[in-house]
Structure 1
Amino acid sequence: MAELRARLGLTETQVRSGPDRLVDLDLLRPSRDSPGALRAVSPDLGLELPLRRQEEDLTSRQAELARSKAAAVRAVSEFADLRPDTEVDGAERLVGMDAIQSRLEELAHGPAREFTAILPGGALSEASLEASRPLDRRALGRGIEMRSVYQDSARNDPATLAYTRWLTEKGSQVRTARTARSCRPAC
C-alpha cells in the first residue's frame, strides 16, 4: 500500500477508498477465479452502465419538468380571470388606482361615444374622486354619454353622493343597486 501511495501521491484513505469507488462505478467486480479479489472491467463496458444511469436520470428529470410545465399551464389558464388588468367575458378588470387612472385617461381622450361603469364596493376614496373629476369633465365636454352604477351603500358617503350629483348635473346617468338585478337613481 505504501508503494502505491507514493507512486500515486495519494493519502492512505484515498488509496483505500479508491477500489470502493471503482466498485461503485462498476469498473471493478468480484473475481470468479480468485475469491475475495477484484477484477478490472473493460472501460468501454464499465462506463456504459453509469452513462446509461445518467441518461435514465435525465429522462426522468425531463419527464418531471414536462409534468411541472403542464401543471403550471393548467394553473395559469384556470386562474387567468383573477389576474389584474385583464379582460374577462368582454369586460375589463382593472386593479389598483394606477391601472384605473391610466384607463380613464385613455377613455377620456379616445373616440368613445359612451362610457358605462359598474363601481362595486360602495363609497369611493377622496383620491379616486379627485382623479376622476377632470377626466369625467373632459369626457362629458366631448359629448360622451356616461352611465355609472354604484353599490347602494355609496349613498351613505357624502363625498361620493356629492360627486354623483355633480355627474348627473353634467348630464350623466347614475344609479345604485343592492344587487345586480336592482338599479335605482342615486340622487
Structure 2
Amino acid sequence: MTDLPATPYEGDPHIGDVVVGTEELQKRVRQLGAEITADYEGRAPLLVGVLKGAIMFMADLAREIALPVEFDFMAVSSYGNATKSSGVVRIVKDLDLDLSGRHVLIVEDIIDSGLTLAYLRKNLLARHPASVEVCALLVRDGLQKRDPDLRYVGFRIPPDFVVGYGLDVSDRYRNLPYVASYLE
C-alpha cells in the first residue's frame, strides 16, 4: 500500500490492497449524482439509505444531486458480525416516512448475493411508492444468483470481502477514505 492517506488503521494487517481509491470514489459519485439529477428531473427523490454501510456514500451522493431530496434510513441485517451472510434478513430499524406515491431511491453500499436487496425491494414496494430504484456503490461480481436489477452502479468488484468508505467488519474500518480488501 503506497501513497495512501494516513488512516487510524495504518499498518493494520487486515487491510489488503486498495480496490477503489479515494479519487475514483469521488469521481464516480459525482457522475452518479449527475445521472440521478437528469433521470429525476422535476421529481424530488426520497433517498433511502441502508444503514450503516451506505451512510458515507449517501451523504456524498446527496450533495451531488442537484434536486431537492429527502432522506430516510433503514437498517437491515444478514451478516451480524460475520464476513459471510447468514441468509436470513431482518429489519433492525424501519423507515419513518410514508412511501405512498414517492419516488424512492434505495442507496446501498454493496450488493453481494442480492438477498437483502430483494427482501428490501419487496418490502418497500408493498408500501405503494410511485417508483423504487436502486443505487449501489459496489457490486461483488459472481455472487448473485439472479440479476439484482440495479438502476445505478458505482463499481463492479471481485468477490473479495472489502472494507472502507462505510463498509465494515464488526463496525471497524468504516472511516477509511477508500475501499480495500479485508484479510482475515
TM-score by length of 1: 0.26
Q: Answer with 1 or 2: which has the greater Rg.
A: 1
TM-score by length of 2: 0.27
Bigger relative contact order, structure 1 or 2 (CA pairs below 8 A, ≥6 apart) = 2
Higher strand proportion: 2
Higher helix proportion: 1
